[in-house]
Structure 1
Amino acid sequence: MLPVMALEPTTVMTTDGVPPEDAFGYWSDLICAEFVQLEARALDTRRFAGSIEHDSLDDLCFSVVSSRGQRVDRTRRLIAASREEVVLVSIQLAGTGSVRQAGRLARQSVGTMTFYDSTVPYTLEFDAPFRQLIVQVPRAMLPVGVLGGATAVGLAPHGPGGVVADFLLGLHRLRRTHPAAAAVLVPHAVGLVDGALRLAEGSGSWSAAAGSAHLRERVHRFVAAHAREADLDVNRVATACGISRRTLFRVLAEGGEGFTELVRRHRVRRAKELLRAHPGRLLSTVAHESGFGGEAQLHRAFRAVTGTTPGAYRGTNRQ
């Protein structure tokens, strides 16, 4: 049975009720607060109107943006002055537009899905009223380097990109009606975004080897984030990554590592961090905070991975 979750209300921000001469200035502040620091210019400041409907689901943010024509720039100066590191997934719902980033240009029509990276300058242009769903995914949730050639590349609604776009649109709707069920699907959403980025980077091709590497990296990320939790097991990792136990064991074996060894390695890494940061902490406490069942388990795993004992390691680092 899914847990009961409190449904936070959708936040609606709009220029309705704002004096016409102040509407675009108000809008500029809204988009900077909702997304990242931006410079915006309206095509017609005298008749500007816009609205944002915001929902959040775990680490993902969903925003439906409806607005009149404008140009938006994320500059190097703004990037240097801020710390936002997100991947923005844009799905065009009405109207047209374009995304420029890293020397590429993607034209956006209804159904097109496009990515852009907050850590690299970009420009968005809309010549007329438009509507989009924008999903913000923390960059840390995606593999390092996956964005190289994937931004400002449009994925058409007919094909694999359309499947991912439909999933994200459905997840956004589900979040408003069944938030607990939607939360269960978040890891699958991140995995699909990861795969869509690879499709965009490879112009629609995704080899079996690349797919296995992608799955393996996703498993590694989840285990690294949760290794300190004593109840971490293969069933939980497989479910979180949206794959079967058999697939999980297969992709790890292709990388030359088993599930037990992977968990042990990350728990030992955590124990080493604690021993360095807190040299006076009891080994039993270090074991518990690293995900081990007790001090004896910590000792065996530590020696297997490092060739030395936790006590000797702590003594060396003290010196």
Structure 2
Amino acid sequence: MGQLDMWSRGVDTRFVRAVVDRQAYAQLSTAQVAEPEAFAYWREMICATFVRLAAEPVVGGGFSGSIEHVAVGDVELSTVVAAGQHVRRTRALIAEGADEFLLASIQLGGRGRVEQDGRVALLSEGDMAFYDSTRAYTLHFDDPFRQLVVQVPKRELLPRDTRRLTARSLGAGTPGAVVATFFRSLAETARTGPGSGSILVPHAVGLLAAAAAYSGQLAPDRPAVEAMARQRIMDFLHHNLADPGLDADTVARACSVSRRTLYRIVGEDGVAARLRRLRIDRACSLLLADRRRPVAAVAAACGFESESGFFRAFRTATGQTPADYRHPR
């Protein structure tokens, strides 16, 4: 029996499965066990968090790894930090369960390879690739790495036939970059509490479907197209809110959408109202992050043309002055 088939000889996965509650936040680490048991425990961790997998370390001894897992509705997000390894989903392991998931690996650090359906996707930081739990696949990490793994039941996504979209690298200049940014933000939000980000689940599924359609060179359905357009618009607003001259025409041109589409996505109040809310949210963060930073500097960093205009907008939105928000009495 090869080392890749040794998952069944490792530690019983029932303990870790009890920790990885699919409705809650969980942190797992090989630091919880003695070094000789670290990789056996790691196999237990990845089988419990994802699907049944075989694995082997790149080098013997000194292995370490951690998984931070959170479920947001049907979307599962797992941040994986680990030493080099090769992971395999075999036909025998597939036959033992009824798991049907589409997974996407978003590379946060280091490099990796995804092999499935006769293709190999090379992943560097910022890239993502899909793979399907119902068919054999292999993940290679020759060195230490960091990944965010997004896992969604296949029933939630179209198309159901994923053979054209797996093991294709989506990086800069593709919808994968937009989707990767969104899911990194969603994972950060979800860490604050099990219910955090739940309202974004339909949007998350739509974005994943749009990226999957692009990867498979398929025509995405309307919800997926709108999810992608919405994320492009919101990313543009977040990245450019410090520009006091930002307006609806600029946003529509930059995001390649019509004004009608733009207003349908941002809401009836329009771009100006959405920008104001985003600017106030950014101002709240800046006021607390550096309590010595001048209010005028905060106003400028958030796209307000004057300190007095910032003061009025902040008080209308929060019921407090910037000074009172920063130093509550």
Q: TM-score, normalised by structure 1?
A: 0.61
Aligned to 1:133: 148
TM-aligned CA distance change 1:19 to 1:189, over 3 Å: same
What CA distance in whole angstroms lies between the structure 2 residues aligned with 1:79 and 1:18?
Answer: 28
Pairwise CA distance, 1:157: 3.2
Pairwise CA distance, 1:76: 0.6
Pairwise CA distance, 1:215: 7.0
Contact 1:113 1:157 in 2 (8 A): no
Aligned to 1:69: 84
Aligned to 2:171: 156
Q: Which amino acid aligns with 1:160?
A: P
Pairwise CA distance, 1:159: 3.2
SS in 1 for 2:168: coil
Of 13, 26, 34, 2:49 maps to 34
Aligned to 2:122: 107
TM-aligned CA distance change 1:212 to 1:54, over 3 Å: closer
Aligned to 1:220: none
What CA distance in whole angstroms lies between the structure 1 residues aligned with 2:196 and 2:59?
Answer: 42
After superposition, the C-alpha distances for 1:210-232 in whole angstroms (9 at most, x for unaligned) are: 5449679xxxxxxxxxxxxxxxx
1:123 aligns with 2:134: no
After superposition, the C-alpha distances for 1:238-267 in whole angstroms (9 at most, x for unaligned) are: xxxxx99x99xxxxxxxxxxxxxxxxxxxx
Aligned to 1:12: 27
What CA distance in whole angstroms lies between the structure 1 residues aligned with 2:158 and 2:108?
Answer: 28
Aligned to 1:171: 186
Pairwise CA distance, 1:174: 1.6
What CA distance in whole angstroms lies between the structure 2 residues aligned with 1:198 and 1:163?
Answer: 14
After superposition, the C-alpha distances for 1:144-203 in whole angstroms (9 at most, x for unaligned) are: 43512111001003332111111111111122237656111100110110010011111x
Of 127, 143, 155, 2:158 maps to 143
In structure 2, stretches of 5+ residues that fail to align are 1-22, 227-260, 266-329
SS in 2 for 1:46: coil
Aligned to 1:21: 36
After the TM superposition, which of the residue ranges 59-68 and 157-166 deviates more from structure 2?
157-166
Q: Which amino acid aligns with 2:46?
A: I
Contact 2:210 2:225 in 1 (8 A): no
SS in 2 for 1:196: helix
Of 73, 88, 91, 2:106 maps to 91
After superposition, the C-alpha distances for 1:21-70 in whole angstroms (9 at most, x for unaligned) are: 11101111110011000110011231100000111111111100010010
After superposition, the C-alpha distances for 1:73-107 in whole angstroms (9 at most, x for unaligned) are: 10111101111111111100000010000000000
What CA distance in whole angstroms lies between the structure 1 residues aligned with 2:118 and 2:135?
Answer: 11
Q: Which amino acid aligns with 1:117?
A: D
Query: Aligned runs of 1:163-242 on 2, under 5 Å?
Result: 163-177=178-192, 182-202=197-217, 210-212=220-222
What CA distance in whole angstroms lies between the structure 2 residues aligned with 1:211 and 1:17?
Answer: 45
Query: Aligned runs of 1:247-286 on 2, under 5 Å?
Result: none
SS in 2 for 1:32: helix
Contact 1:42 1:69 in 2 (8 A): yes
Aligned to 1:79: 94
Contact 1:104 1:153 in 2 (8 A): yes
What CA distance in whole angstroms lies between the structure 1 residues aligned with 2:93 and 2:128?
Answer: 25
Q: Which amino acid aligns with 1:63?
A: S
Contact 1:54 1:62 in 2 (8 A): yes
TM-aligned CA distance change 1:121 to 1:16, over 3 Å: same
What CA distance in whole angstroms lies between the structure 1 residues aligned with 2:154 and 2:214?
Answer: 17
Contact 1:96 1:108 in 2 (8 A): yes
Q: Which amino acid aligns with 2:173?
A: H
What CA distance in whole angstroms lies between the structure 1 residues aligned with 2:201 and 2:109?
Answer: 25
1:54 aligns with 2:69: yes
What CA distance in whole angstroms lies between the structure 1 residues aligned with 2:199 and 2:205?
Answer: 12
Identity %: 43
What CA distance in whole angstroms lies between the structure 2 residues aligned with 1:180 and 1:41?
Answer: 35
Contact 2:25 2:193 in 1 (8 A): no
TM-aligned CA distance change 1:76 to 1:9, over 3 Å: closer
Contact 2:35 2:62 in 1 (8 A): yes
Contact 1:24 1:45 in 2 (8 A): no
RMSD value over aligned CA atoms?
Answer: 2.5
Number of residue pairs matched by the alignment: 209
After superposition, the C-alpha distances for 1:256-280 in whole angstroms (9 at most, x for unaligned) are: xxxxxxxxxxxxxxxxxxxxxxxxx
Q: Which amino acid aligns with 1:95?
A: G
Contact 2:67 2:78 in 1 (8 A): yes
Q: TM-score, normalised by structure 2?
A: 0.59
